[in-house]
């Protein structure tokens, strides 16, 4: 009777030890599998900015070429400014210096480039469904400003949208857009004409 009890107790004890050991082993196994905490990426929270059809090359590489964001502060305290590395257009000229050179040597510059927001009046800095990262379809983009008389430096520029809406006959190339005849940035010719 006493022997049976002893066997019973020992059996339970071994069983208990087995369980405890297993759970330790399991814990060890588990913690050995745990990777060091992954640092989140900018795109984990901002993927909506880059989901359009065509992506600006530097956006595919890293955000820091344009945003000097303090990661820890940003993710702990939330939004705190764009922190652009430079103002626009200087920011863009960092990499598009060919265009910058053009704009210093070409006679007529499209006024809008000198205005507030400069390049991003027409281009999305991240991604776009349109060609050349345009914010709108090219013709709609031009007409979004040229739907009124625009005036600067004592010059008046006609309301092209009204001309097109009222016209009986539209010159066929205009149907296909404006850059068939105009340069979007600058030109040595009057009216930003290509030739």
| Contacts to ligand HEC from residues 91-120, by CB under 6 A | 91-92, 94-96, 99, 108, 110-113, 118-120
The two beta strands, 150-152 and 155-157, are antiparallel
Torsion of CA 180, 186, 190, 193, to 10 degrees: -10
Exposed/middle/buried for residue 50 (C-beta within 10 Å: 0-12, 13-18, 19+): middle
- Show the site string, 144-173: x = touches ligand HEC by CB under 6 A, - = not: xxx---xxxx-xxxx-x----------x-x
Neighbours of 165 (CB within 10 A): 11
Which pair of structure tokens corresponds to residue 175? 């149907």
Quick one: which segment of 3-11, 12-20, 21-29, 41-49 binds ligand HEC (CB under 6 A)? 41-49
- Show the site string, 57-96: x = touches ligand HEC by CB under 6 A, - = not: xxx---x-xxx-x-x--xx--xx-xx-x---xx-xx-xxx
| CA gap 62, 31 in Å, rounded | 32
Catalogue the E-assigned strands of the chain.
54-55, 108-109, 127-128, 150-152, 155-157, 186-187
- Tell the smallest beta-carbon distance from residue 34 to ligand HEC (Å): 21
Quick one: which segment of 9-17, 21-29, 30-38, 56-64 binds ligand HEC (CB under 6 A)? 56-64
Grouping H, G, I as helix, E, B as strand and the rest as coil, residue 155 is strand
* Residue 186 lies near ligand HEC (rule: CB under 6 A): no
- Tell the smallest beta-carbon distance from residue 36 to ligand HEC (Å): 17
Q: Pick the closer one to ligand HEC by CB: 12 or 162.
A: 162
Q: Pick the closer one to ligand HEC by CB: 33 or 116.
A: 116
- Tell the smallest beta-carbon distance from residue 33 to ligand HEC (Å): 24
DSSP 8-state assignment for residue 108 = E
């Amino acid at each position: 009777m006493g022997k049976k009890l002893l066997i019973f107790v020992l059996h339970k004890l071994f069983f208990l030890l087995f369980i405890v050991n297993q759970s330790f082993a399991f814990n060890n196994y588990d913690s050995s599998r745990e990777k060091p905490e992954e640092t989140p990426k900018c795109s984990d929270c901002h993927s909506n900015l880059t989901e359009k059809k065509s992506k600006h090359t530097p956006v595919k590489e890293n955000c820091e070429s344009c945003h000097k964001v303090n990661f820890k502060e940003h993710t702990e305290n939330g939004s705190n400014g764009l922190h652009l590395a430079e103002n626009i257009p200087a920011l863009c000229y960092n990499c598009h210096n060919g265009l910058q050179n053009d704009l210093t040597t070409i006679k007529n510059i499209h006024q809008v480039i000198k205005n507030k927001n400069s390049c991003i009046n027409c281009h999305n800095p991240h991604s776009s469904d349109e060609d050349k990262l345009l914010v709108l379809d090219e013709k709609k983009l031009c007409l979004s400003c040229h739907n009124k008389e625009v005036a600067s430096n004592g010059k008046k520029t006609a309301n092209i949208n009204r001309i097109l809406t009222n016209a009986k006959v539209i010159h066929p190339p205009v149907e296909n857009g404006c850059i068939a005849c105009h340069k979007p940035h600058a030109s040595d010719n009057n009216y930003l004409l290509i030739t």
